[in-house]
Structure 1
Amino acid sequence: MNMRFAFAMLASVMMVACSSQPERSSEPLLPATVVPIEVSTVEELPDSEVTQALATDFEMIFIDQDMSFIGTLPCADCPGIAFHLNLYRDGRFEIRQEYLERNNILLVKGTWLLEQRTLHLMNQQHTLPTFQFVSNRRLTMLDMAGKPIVSSLNYHLDRTERLQSIDTRRPMLGLYQVNGDSATFTLCDSGERFQVAMTQHHMPMLRNYRQDPQLSGQAVIATLTGRLGNGQDSNTLFIDQFEQFWPGAACPQRHAPAAVHGLVWRAEKIAEQYVPQQLNVRVLFRDNNTLYGFAGCNNFHGSYRQRANTLEISNLAMTRKFCEESSQLEQSFTQSLQNADRAEVNGHALQLFQNNAVIMQLVPAAN
């Protein structure tokens, strides 16, 4: 058999083998035996800030939608700072910071910058904290060196399910004046001037102003709770609650005040005890040797005499309402006023003394 014939025979056999179909058996097929494969288990870590941070390292943080973050951050001399941060995808932010039990609310707007997971909030007038995205649902505040703060206290803000509007109401102190049928209010802290909306909450204030001959036609310091409008109403002030007028008072200066009279003073401490700011304990020493104010529950008025640093307060009279939450503090405040024998303005504080010991400290009311 020559080689050419041998190769032809081999090719023919291979073609038959490849094209032939196996014969079907008439007997039923038995089920195949399944052999279990042992799979090694992966230990699952419980969800925590550590696991979220590790996961975040492998993903990018995008602020591609408007979002709100809310939490209560620590405060050195108050129960906490209620913090509400809104981040907008167009690069803007809004913040509301409320110092609890201080009646001090700060509203700030500006622009944000995101570097990897570090969030910078930029505003020319205010120094704001820096945050880091622990996950896309949580921010943690960083220290001055840009590192997470190691503490048992809460330094986190958590994202809400939906964007929540910033509550822009806040206590305000400023110059109120009526000209014809319109009223204006100039904020003492910023110098901004706004038209006052003629709403139902403005009516008691307007009526009080027009009926008092020492107020009508004059620019007078007033305290109130209000909010500024948005959009077309951005130059409008909406009053939520009118507090009172302070005839004889002026806006506090940015520099340390030099005189006792002419400013609305807020009681900050009586002896070593802080006075809750929401009680609005305030006093105004007028340049005609009279004084008046609010002691937390009742209004009061009286007279004073000041020579150099010596101070004598007399003829103090009050209304007779009872307020359970402030009656004890009110008694301490009025008693300290009458016990004071010396007054000094030190820095931004007015200190009242008795026998060379500080018995009360007051600061210019900013709102």
Structure 2
Amino acid sequence: MKRTSFAAAIVALSVLGLSACKKEPAVEPASPAAAPTATAPAADPALAAAANPVVDFDMRAFAGEFAGTLPCADCAGIDTKISLAGDGTYASAETYRGKSAEPVKSDGTWTAEDNGHRLRLDPNSKSEQDRLFEVVGRNDIRLMDKDGNPLQGAQNSGLKRVAAP
């Protein structure tokens, strides 16, 4: 008799033990309405990529003419004008102060990289190297070194958007 009582006690404890290990019901995922919403795109479509990396950089909206004086190792500066077309082509003219009155002209294609934070000018002439510019804002770009880093020691390496006539 003690044996059956003992066996019944073990069975009862086993049943209690198993019920204690019962899994909790799975938590339902939050409804889409409760999910956090994405931020609205930036007001400037060309720079929307900077505010929301899901949005592509709008080359047509960013296209325009940029001008300024870039640093020069052996002259007073390089007066530079770059025209970025919405179709991905560019044309540039650079005049070396104190050296030549004739501007050095170049053309080729331009692309946006790093979610619109950097521009690459790829000249049609294969003897020229690509040039990189940081997109500082809608109206400002800044020359970078060949590795995409800011120029060291350059006082003025930026170009500003020229207002359309």
- Using structure 2 for the length normalisation, give the TM-score: 0.59
Deviation for aligned residue 1:77? 1.0
CA-to-partner distance for each residue in 1:265-307, whole Å, 9 max, x for gaps?
A: xxxxxxxxxxxxxxxxxxxxxxxxxxxxxxxxxxxxxxxxxxx
How far apart in 1 are the matches of 2:110 and 2:50?
21
Bigger relative contact order, structure 1 or 2, given CA contacts below 8 A and separation 6+? 2
Superposition misfits of 4+ residues, deviation over 4 angstroms? none
Aligned to 2:44: none
Aligned to 1:118: 118
How far apart in 1 are the matches of 2:92 and 2:58?
20
Aligned to 1:151: 153
How far apart in 1 are the matches of 2:90 and 2:73?
25
How far apart in 2 are the matches of 1:93 and 1:152?
24
Is 1:84 the counterpart of 2:81? The answer is yes
Aligned to 2:20: none
Aligned to 1:75: 72
| Counterparts in 2 of 1:128 and 1:99: CA distance versus 1, 3 Å | farther
| Counterparts in 2 of 1:114 and 1:152: CA distance versus 1, 3 Å | closer
Deviation for aligned residue 1:131? 0.4
Corresponding residue SS for 1:57: helix
Greater helix share, 1 or 2?
Answer: 2
Aligned to 2:33: none
How far apart in 1 are the matches of 2:69 and 2:49?
24
How far apart in 2 are the matches of 1:72 and 1:107?
15
Q: Identity percentage over the alignment? A: 28
Where do 5+ consecutive residues of structure 2 fail to align? 1-47
How far apart in 1 are the matches of 2:49 and 2:59?
14
How far apart in 2 are the matches of 1:110 and 1:140?
19
| Counterparts in 2 of 1:152 and 1:94: CA distance versus 1, 3 Å | closer
Pairwise mapping of residues 285-304 of structure 1 onto structure 2 (< 5 A)?
Answer: none
Q: In the alignment, is the contact (CA less than 8 A) between 2:130 and 2:146 conserved in 1? A: no
Aligned to 1:139: 141
Q: In the alignment, is the contact (CA less than 8 A) between 2:71 and 2:154 conserved in 1? A: no
Where do 5+ consecutive residues of structure 1 fail to align? 1-54, 164-367
Aligned to 2:162: 160
- Let me know the Cα RMSD of the aligned residues: 2.2
Aligned to 2:99: 102
How far apart in 2 are the matches of 1:86 and 1:147?
23
Greater strand share, 1 or 2?
Answer: 1
Aligned AA (1:78): C
Deviation for aligned residue 1:71? 0.6
> Whose Rg is larger?
1
Aligned to 2:59: 63
- Using structure 1 for the length normalisation, give the TM-score: 0.28
Q: In the alignment, is the contact (CA less than 8 A) between 2:80 and 2:92 conserved in 1? A: yes
